[in-house]
Structure 1
Amino acid sequence: MAIQDLFSLQGDVAIITGAGRGIGRAIAIAFAQAGASVVCAARTQADIDDTARQCRQSGGSALAVACDVSNEEDLAKLVKACVDEYGKISILVNNAGGAYPNDPLKTDAKTFNRDFNFNVTCALSLTQLCQPQLLANKGNVINITSAVARYAQAGFSSYGTAKAALTQLTKLLAADFAPNIRVNGVAPGTILTEALGQFLNEEIQEKMTALTPLKSLGHPDDIAAAALYLASPAARWVSGKIIEVDGGAESTTWPF
Structure 2
Amino acid sequence: MQQYKHKKFNELFDLSGKVAIVTGGANGIGKATAIRLAEAGAHVAIADLKLDEAKAAIKDIEALGVKGLAVECNILKEDDLVAMVDDVVEELGTVNILINNAGGGGGGRENPAKIAVDEIRRDFELNVFSGWRLCQLCVPHMKKSGYGSIVFTTSMSSVNKSPNMSGYAGSKAAVNHMVANLAHDFGPEVRINAVGPGATRTASLESVLTPEIEKKMLSHTPIKRLGEADDIAGAMLYFASPISEWVSGQTIFVNGGGVQTLE
Query: TM-score, normalised to structure 1's length?
Result: 0.96
Q: Gaps spanning 5+ residues in structure 2: where? A: 1-6
Taking the aligned partners of 2:191 and 2:85, their CA distance within structure 1 comes to: 19
Query: What's 1:218 paired with?
Result: 227
Give the counterpart of 1:151 among 160, 163, 184: 160
Give CA deviations for 1:103-150 in whole Å, capped at 9, x if unaligned.
Answer: 122221111001111110000111111121011123111111111101
Taking the aligned partners of 2:247 and 2:82, their CA distance within structure 1 comes to: 28
Give the counterpart of 1:31 among 27, 33, 37: 37
Taking the aligned partners of 2:207 and 2:257, their CA distance within structure 1 comes to: 24
What SS does the aligned partner of 2:16 have? coil
Query: What's 2:57 paired with?
Result: 51
Taking the aligned partners of 2:245 and 2:45, their CA distance within structure 1 comes to: 22
Taking the aligned partners of 2:62 and 2:215, their CA distance within structure 1 comes to: 36
Give the counterpart of 2:243 among 234, 238, 241: 234
Amino acid at match of 2:46: C
Equivalence map 1:1-256=2 (5 Å): 1-100=7-106, 101=108, 102-137=110-145, 138-249=147-258, 251=259, 253-256=260-263
Displacement of 1:34 = 0.5
Query: What's 2:4 paired with?
Result: none
Query: TM-score, normalised to structure 2's length?
Result: 0.93
Taking the aligned partners of 2:49 and 2:13, their CA distance within structure 1 comes to: 30
Taking the aligned partners of 1:223 and 1:118, their CA distance within structure 2 comes to: 20
Amino acid at match of 1:15: I
Give CA deviations for 1:192-212 in whole Å, capped at 9, x if unaligned.
Answer: 100111111233222222232
**In structure 2, do the counterparts of structure 1 residues 255 and 93 end up closer, same or farther at CA, with 3 Å as the change threshold?**
closer
Give CA deviations for 1:199-227 in whole Å, capped at 9, x if unaligned.
Answer: 11233222222232211100110111111
More displaced 10-residue stretch of structure 1: 96-105 or 72-81: 96-105
Amino acid at match of 2:117: A
Compute the RMSD of aligned alpha carbons: 1.1
More displaced 10-residue stretch of structure 1: 190-199 or 206-215: 206-215
Taking the aligned partners of 1:192 and 1:163, their CA distance within structure 2 comes to: 19
Displacement of 1:177 = 1.1
Taking the aligned partners of 1:52 and 1:107, their CA distance within structure 2 comes to: 38
Taking the aligned partners of 2:75 and 2:191, their CA distance within structure 1 comes to: 22
Aligned partners of 2:21 and 2:47 also within 8 Å: yes
Taking the aligned partners of 1:63 and 1:228, their CA distance within structure 2 comes to: 19
Amino acid at match of 1:88: T
Give CA deviations for 1:74-122 in whole Å, capped at 9, x if unaligned.
Answer: 0111101111111111011100012222212222111100111111000
Taking the aligned partners of 2:92 and 2:165, their CA distance within structure 1 comes to: 39
**In structure 2, do the counterparts of structure 1 residues 59 and 207 end up closer, same or farther at CA, with 3 Å as the change threshold?**
farther
Name segments (4+ residues, structure 1) moved above 3 Å. none
How many residues are paired up?
254
Displacement of 1:160 = 0.4
Aligned partners of 2:105 and 2:122 also within 8 Å: no
